[in-house]
Amino acid sequence: MKKMSALTFLLSLATGLLVFLLRPRKARAPMVHKDPAKYPGTNIAISPGDLLFSPIGQSESKYVGHVGIVNQHKEVIHSIPSGLMKDNMDRYFQKFRAISIYTPKEPEDGVMAADYLEGLYKKYPKAAYRIMTPLGTADHEQYCSKIVWQAYYYGAGVNLKNLSPSRKAIHPEWLKDSKFLTRKAKNL
């Protein structure tokens, strides 16, 4: 009788696990992006230098772990392990969820940061992904927070959160500097 109870229990456990693993996932409806000057599914204007903060991926936690920056062509440049990546807005919004957008208080700062970033992207498209590199050095070694900080620091003369160029491993959340940035949208 004990063998039968243990077998029944294991079978029930295996069935429950199988049902859990095969359950339908929440599908994200495709966004209709009618106006290329606005963020997908919104009436919010896209501006050069906008910062897009998000969890790392579609199924990650609700906590910010990634940041990208908008260039002059309304594309998002961000750093991933295979190098610097340039995505059109629709593609970026499909890759990430719960995107919060911060924009520079001075639009010219965003334009200058975007221009600097474009040069960085052209020069180092296959930049090695290294989190433990100083913010102010080694352009050929990047991570998402570092390219954003460098774009603003070297491109616009803005030091987000007044970080030392020798700082390493900066979390994206640390770049949200209310002195220079304002939140445009939360959890899109």
| Domains of the chain from N-terminus onward | 51-185 (3.90.1720.10)
Question: Over the range 79-113, which residues count as b (16 or more CB within 10 Å of their CB) and which as e?
Answer: beeeebbbbebbebbebbbbbbbbbbeeeebbbbb
- pLDDT value, residue 43: 93
- C-alpha to C-alpha distance for 58 and 41, rounded to whole angstroms: 17
The pLDDT score that the predictor gives to residue 10 is 60
pLDDT value at residue 12: 60
Query: Residues 6 or more apart from 154 whose CB is under 8 A from it?
Result: 116
Give the chain's residues under pLDDT 50: 17-22, 24-29, 60
Q: How far apart are CA 87 and CA 73, in angstroms?
A: 11
| Cα–Cα dist 100/118, whole Å | 22
pLDDT value for 95: 87
Nearest 10 degrees: Cα torsion 36, 93, 102, 139: -100
Helical segments of the chain, H only: 2-22, 89-95, 107-123, 144-150
CA 164 to chain centre: 22
Model pTM above 0.85: no
Q: What is the pLDDT of residues 130-146, one digit of tens each?
A: 999 999 987 889 999 99
Per-residue model confidence as pLDDT tens digits over 33-60: 578 899 998 999 999 999 999 987 555 4
